[in-house]
């Protein structure tokens, strides 16, 4: 009986080893299959030809930015990746270069769509003849010809946009009782102020006591009556009073030209 039992156990050892070997091979095959599947999937998802970002959707309350502009700046990128590889921050930076774009959000939607949501700047004034200002005084690269009708022209050194905009607003309030508006405000490099009114009168306010000098103009203007139509400029850079420059009449102009 002992001999039979030993023989049975001896016969079982090769069978167990064989099962372990088969199990190891099966596990290895499973691992190889998983790795191959993951690699194939990754290769497919990163292949520009198989999974390109081929569609574009542009959203937002847009008046100055077009879908064509967005498409153009994205097409100009050195390489547009796939759904898996393309960095949306790179797309956002590209769209921000478009004039009038204040804020932009870019999302990818499976499998091939790029969704771009844009918030445009609001223009308050034309700045230095070649850009625009927001109501907060921020300079942005919008085209002056796209500014609102009758937008005021503001000029000043770099970094002075908020100050010049503030002076325009406060001066506009002061001039309301006269029925006059401002078409231009200039702050020159010497920090002297100049206002040009809608009737063409140029006010020289200088560097100091700007508000006092503007108040002096308001008092003077009310006394001039019909003569205001003949005024070219008023120089208020005095402690008291002002110097008035008159528009020459036709006869005087002809005399000077002889």
Q: Alpha helices, DSSP H only, in the chain? A: 2-45, 67-75, 88-96, 161-175, 210-224, 250-257
What lies within 8 Å, CB to CB, of 132 at 6+ separation is: 121, 123, 124, 125, 126, 139, 140, 141, 142, 143, 144, 146, 147
Domains of the chain by range and CATH?
55-120 (3.10.20.310), 125-257 (3.40.50.11690)
Average pLDDT over residues 74-89: 83
pLDDT of residue 2: 44
Task: Report pLDDT for 225.
Answer: 84
Concatenating the DSSP letter of every residue in 205-220 gives EESS-HHHHHHHHHHH
Greater model confidence, 38 or 5: 38
Rounded CA gap, 115 and 109, in Å? Answer: 7
Percent of the chain with pLDDT over 90: 59
Residue 180 contacts residue 157 (beta carbons within 8 Å): no
Candidate from 9-18, 95-104, 169-178, 242-251 with smallest mean pLDDT: 9-18
Q: Return d(Cα 129, Cα 206) in angstroms, integer.
A: 22
Report which of 147, 110, 118 is spatially closest to residue 131, judged by C-alpha positions.
147
Q: Which residues pair with 204 in a beta bridge?
A: 194, 235
219-252 pLDDT, tens digit each: 999 888 888 889 999 999 998 889 999 998 754 4
Which tens digits make up the pLDDT trace of 119-142?
999 999 999 999 999 999 999 999
At residue 111, does pLDDT exceed 80?
yes
Segment 41-58 shows an average pLDDT of: 67
Q: What is the pLDDT of residue 86?
A: 83
pLDDT of residue 15: 64
d(CA 33, CA 150): 71
pTM, whole model, 2 decimals? 0.74
2-16, 72-86, 155-169, 174-188 — which is least confidently predicted?
A: 2-16
Number of H helices, E strands in the chain: 6, 12
pLDDT at 38: 60
Residue 258 scores a pLDDT above 50: no
Residues in CB range of 52: below 8 A, 6 or more apart: 80, 82, 112
pLDDT band at 69 (very low <50, low <70, confident <90, very high): very high
Residues of the chain by 3-state class (helix, strand, coil), percent to 5: 45, 25, 35
């Amino acid at each position: 009986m002992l001999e039979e039992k030993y023989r049975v156990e001896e016969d079982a050892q090769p069978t167990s080893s064989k099962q372990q070997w088969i199990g190891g091979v099966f596990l290895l095959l499973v691992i190889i299959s998983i790795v191959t599947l993951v690699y194939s999937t990754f290769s497919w998802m990163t292949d520009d030809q198989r999974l390109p970002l081929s569609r574009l959707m542009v959203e937002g309350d847009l008046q100055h930015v077009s879908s064509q502009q967005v498409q153009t700046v994205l097409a100009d990128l050195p390489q547009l990746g796939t759904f898996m590889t393309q960095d949306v921050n790179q797309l956002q930076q590209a769209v921000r270069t478009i004039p009038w774009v204040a804020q932009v959000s870019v999302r990818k939607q499976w499998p091939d769509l790029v969704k771009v949501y844009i918030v445009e700047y609001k223009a308050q004034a034309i700045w230095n003849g070649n850009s625009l200002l927001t109501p907060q005084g921020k300079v942005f690269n919008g085209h002056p010809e796209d500014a609102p009708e009758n937008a005021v022209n503001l000029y000043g050194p770099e970094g002075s946009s908020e100050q010049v905009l503030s002076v325009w607003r406060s001066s506009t309030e002061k001039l309301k009782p006269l029925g006059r508006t401002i078409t231009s405000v200039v702050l020159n490099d010497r920090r002297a102020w100049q206002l040009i009114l809608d009737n063409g009168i140029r006010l020289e306010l200088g560097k100091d006591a700007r508000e006092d000098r503007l108040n002096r103009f308001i008092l003077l203007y009310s006394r001039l009556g019909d003569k205001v139509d003949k005024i070219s400029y008023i120089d208020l850079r005095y402690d008291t009073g002002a110097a008035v420059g008159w528009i020459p009449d036709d006869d005087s102009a002809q005399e000077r030209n002889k």
